[in-house]
Amino acid sequence: MQIRGDNTALGTTTIKFSQNEIVEGTALSHTEGSSEININETGIYQISYQLYGVQDVTGTFNFNAVLLVNNTALNNTFNESPVIRNSTSNRMTLTSTVILRLNAGDTLELQGVSIEDIRYDNARIDIEKIG
């Protein structure tokens, strides 16, 4: 499944995905506009994401991302951006790929984590059941 998001929420927020681009099979499901990805089949999943963060002012810029399963952050999926200070650069993309065992009935979410006013203009998540 490949889905894309276009969020305007600031700071720490779960990312809402507005477009389901490629959907094959029934192992996963997602309602456009929702942050929750439903796991319909128990198995091993490869999950890759890109999360694009923007801060409208220069200065300290840092944001992180983590995957949530059933509203619980998985610490081993925490992805931290470098801290940029006094820079003219005010945008960054975090990417990650993880492999997780998920159960039927689980919900998966991507969360942007920041104490700054980061806006998440664009996100993408690709999920494939591999076992």
Q: What's the farthest any 2 CA atoms get from each other in the chain?
A: 47
Instruction: Note the pLDDT tens digit of each residue in 101-119.
Output: 999 999 999 999 988 888 8
Instruction: Note the pLDDT tens digit of each residue in 60-83.
Output: 778 899 999 999 999 999 998 887
Per-residue tokens: 114: 């920041």
User: Which is nearest to 90 in space by CA: 114, 60, 120?
Assistant: 60
Is the pTM of the predicted complex or chain greater than 0.75? Answer: yes
What structural domains does the chain harbor?
2-129 (2.60.120.40)
Distance CA 40, CA 16 (A): 19
Please give the DSSP secondary-structure letter assigned to residue 24. -
Which region holds residue 84: left if phi is over 0, alpha if psi is between -120 and 50, else beta?
beta
Per-residue tokens: 90: 């005010």
